[in-house]
Structure formats: C-alpha cells, structure tokens
Amino acid sequence: MTRQSIAVMASGRGTNLAAILEAANNGKCPVDVRVVLSNKVDAPALQIARDAGVDTILFINPKDYPDRVAYDQACSKVIESHQCDWVVLAGYMRILSSGFVSHFENRLINIHPALLPSFTGADGVADALAYGVKFSGCTVHLVHEEVDAGPILAQASVPVLNDDSVESLHQRIQKEEYTLYPNTLRRLVEEEFHLEGRRVIWHT
C-alpha cells in the first residue's frame, strides 16, 4: 500500500493526532506522520507525538518572529524540508497567513466540530446547541483563506439530544472525528479528487 507523509499542526490535547497515529499504526490509514509542530510549548499533542516516536517534533515559538507571515514561513520550511505530502491541522488555534494557505493549496486540511457551512469559528459546538439544531457533527475540509470556508471533503453527523450540554455534545462529535479524520486521510492517499466550483468530486 502506498503511504504518504503528513505534517500535523496542533495547539492542544492532540486527540485527533492520537487517532491518526493509531489508525496509521493499525494499517487503517496509509500515512506516515513525519512532523508534528505546535505553537504551544506545553501542548499535550507534543507528548503524544514523542510517545509515538514521531521523528520531528517541534515547538515553534510565535514570539520569536516579528509577525504571522514570518512565523508561518518558518513552519513551512520545516514541513517542506521533510517533503510532507499533506498538512493536517488538528486543533491548531492560529489563523494561517494567506501565503501559507496558498503555498499548500489543496494539500492543507482541517477538521471542524460542526456541519459546515453552519457554525463556523471557535464556538461551533456551543453555537449549534444554542441555535437549537437537531443534528450537528464534524466536517473535514480543505483550508482556504477564509476561516472554516474551504471545500468540504467529508462530514459525519450526530443527533443533538434534549439533555445535551456543550460538553456532552462535543464528546459525541469528537467520537466521530476520530473515525472521520483518518478515513478522509486514507481517501486522500488512495483516491483522487477534483473541484467543481466548491464541490469536491471524489474519483472512486
């Protein structure tokens, strides 16, 4: 089976990174996590990467760079030096510069805890619950300059229950994320796609 290399950028707990690493180790996701980058020195994702034996694990401090563009250029150099095929955002809590996004056009993906295009932004779970939707879920999408607005690669839905809190709904969404993200990465490796406007057309 062909394997492709990925860089993962994470700021937090790293649960989606852990799911990807587990799927890769089990042969369910044909990727090699070659690089893990974080903008947070204490991000648990870094320890998850260390425990998994990822070759390159770096905290890159934003304070060491004059602006967002310079910071993103430093990240880009690391990713390119390791010849990564895909850049995977897994709880990465920085808005990327337009130059970074364009450099990795159609190779940069993210997962969002809502059914896009609804409920974009950092509070997608809470916003969906407050709105009163009966279904929510998660979306894997290509990253474009506008936040949470890139073409949709895959989605999974969950019911919103009458007694849901933000926490309980988020937990149910995350359970779907841990399957959807590795499965979408597998499709990206094994299949091709093209864009028709905003629509992702998979070549199955």
Is 60:39 a contact under the CB 8 Å cutoff? yes
Using CA atoms, how far residue 181 sits from 20, 33, 66, 102, in Å, is: 7, 14, 33, 22
Among the options 112, 141, 144, 170, which is catalytic? 112
Decide if 82 is catalytic: no
CB-neighbour burial class of residue 191 (10 A; exposed 0-12, middle 13-18, buried 19+): exposed
**Rounded to an integer, what distance in angstroms lies between the CA atom of residue 195 and that of residue 174?**
27
CA distance between the termini of the chain = 17
Count of Cβ atoms closer than 10 Å to residue 116 Cβ: 19
Which residue from 135, 18, 33 is spatially nearest to 125, judged by alpha carbons? 135
Active site residues: 112
